[in-house]
Structure 1
Amino acid sequence: MSIYVTSSNRKSSALTGSCRKIKDNAADWHNLLLRWERVNENAASGAANIVNIRRSQSDQLTDESSSQTDAETQIHGGATEPQTDSAPSLTEECNKLQDAVDKMVVMVTKMERLVMSQRGVQELEEFQFGTEGRKVPLFLTWDTQDFTLSCSRLLSSFQQELKLKQLILSELAHTMSPDLCLVYLSAWLHQPYIHPNTRLSLEALLLETGHRAL
């Protein structure tokens, strides 16, 4: 079940102060995750196309080597890089993948700001109520430290996943090994750093702030 938060329904809420800020941040986390999933899914086809192009180039190189027909002309600067007509397509797909990673960088930057915002709320609460915080939870059971910890864990997962995406971007189009290409493609699709616990953390955050019904 998805949640949809707009500026209009945010203003209709009676929540104010720390509660309002934390609930808005939780909605932003949810929307960023949805956006991340869309970008990742859309870019997956581009990554698959790059793998197919590289496998085709590898197969062509193998065929030419086995027949020993003009093998010397297929070597560029001593590297086993085949000259094929697929280069423009490869460049196009790489540009699409670069665009996806650029969007992910922007999203992670926004996530970092959300964590900074949450830490600011925690510091304000500690200033107002002391290090032990409020006597009554802001929503159900969490205190501000719980929110900060949850958001920090979410950020860490996406930061690590972004680094993996950047590595795949830099290596995928230059990898001659078909098996390694498939490993990179699988890593892009399955997102090992955004594991089930990451999604559970987000669901807990949404439940605690009232975006999910009990």
Structure 2
Amino acid sequence: MDGLTHDTMATSSSRKCSAITGSARKIKDNMADWHNLMLKWEKLNDTGFNIITNISNMRLSQSSQSSSSSSSLASADTAADLQDQCSKLREIVDKMVAIVKKMERLMTSQRGLQDLEDFQFGPEGRKVPLFHTWSTQQFVASSDILCEAFQQEVKLKQVVLQEVAHSTNSDLCTVYLSCWLHQPFIPAHVRQTLEALLLETGHRPL
């Protein structure tokens, strides 16, 4: 409670000059965690795209060789390689699932701060914003946008994982590759939401 009282009384200039504490510290740390988790996600997405490309090429190659009687040894080698690539893709998706679970915990933390503030200040909220202009409710709403986007995207990744190794249709393989690469549930406005959060909390210069 002391941290909350201090945050309420602090002026804009004094907050810039002193170390932030209480809810402000927790929110700022949460936003840093969001940023780091999204960076890890993007690295996994890049690696996963390369793996899916390999899987698609192998499946198309298997399909083209299936009519040849002299290709049994090559097919066996390709099948082993395909299994290895599928295992690697599963590891990628499992890590993405773990990232989303961490995001959900951040969302729970953010809602907890909102509940605490509602208890401390009532429905009207605090008089002075924790950072520049945003209310705690705005942090919750923006974090919810991020969390929901990645929850939907990881479901798509799981579908691609289940289906990509079974496809021998080049057009369908292209669809899986495109879905994985372009991440339709994480459009530009989601990334802009993160940037706004980082600007508001001082992780990015205004």
Unmatched tracts of structure 2, length 5 or more: 1-17
Structure-1 separation of matches of 2:175 and 2:64: 18
Name the % identity.
59
Equivalent residue number for residue 123 of structure 1? 115
Partner residue, 2:42: 37
1:19 maps to which residue?
A: 24
CA RMSD of aligned residues (A): 1.6
- Give per-residue Cα distances to partners, 1:37-76, cap 9 Å, x unaligned: 0111112111100000011112223xx2xxxx76xxx9xx
Q: 1:89 aligns with which of 44, 64, 81?
A: 81
Give the whole-Å Cα distance in 2 for the aligned partners of 1:176 and 1:40.
23
**Which structure shows the bigger proportion of residues in helix conformation?**
2
User: What is the CA deviation profile of residues 138-197 of structure 1, one whole-angstrom value per residue up to 9, with x for unaligned ones?
Assistant: 111111110000001000110111000000000000112121011101111111111100
> Retained in 2: the 8 A contact 1:19–1:138?
yes
- Find runs of 4+ consecutive structure 1 residues off by over 3 angstroms: none
TM-score, with length taken from structure 1: 0.83
The CA distance in 2 between the partners of 1:202 and 1:208, in whole Å, is 10
- Do the aligned residues in 2 keep the contact of 1:43 with 1:100 (CA within 8 Å)? yes
Letter of the structure 1 residue corresponding to residue 195 of structure 2:
E
Secondary structure (helix, strand or coil) at the match of 1:54 reads helix
Runs (5+) with no aligned partner, structure 1: 1-12, 75-82
- The aligned length equals 186
Q: Distance in 1 between matches of 2:40 and 2:128?
A: 34
2:56 to 48, 51, 56: 51
AA aligned to 1:20 is R
Whole-angstrom distance in 2 between the partners of 1:130 and 1:117: 19
CA distance in 1, matches of 2:58, 2:164: 11
Counterpart residue identity of residue 204, structure 1: A
Match of 1:8 in 2: none
Instruction: Note the C-alpha offset of 1:84.
Output: 4.4
Q: Look up the equivalent residue of 1:25 and give its one-letter code.
A: N
Aligned to 2:97: 105
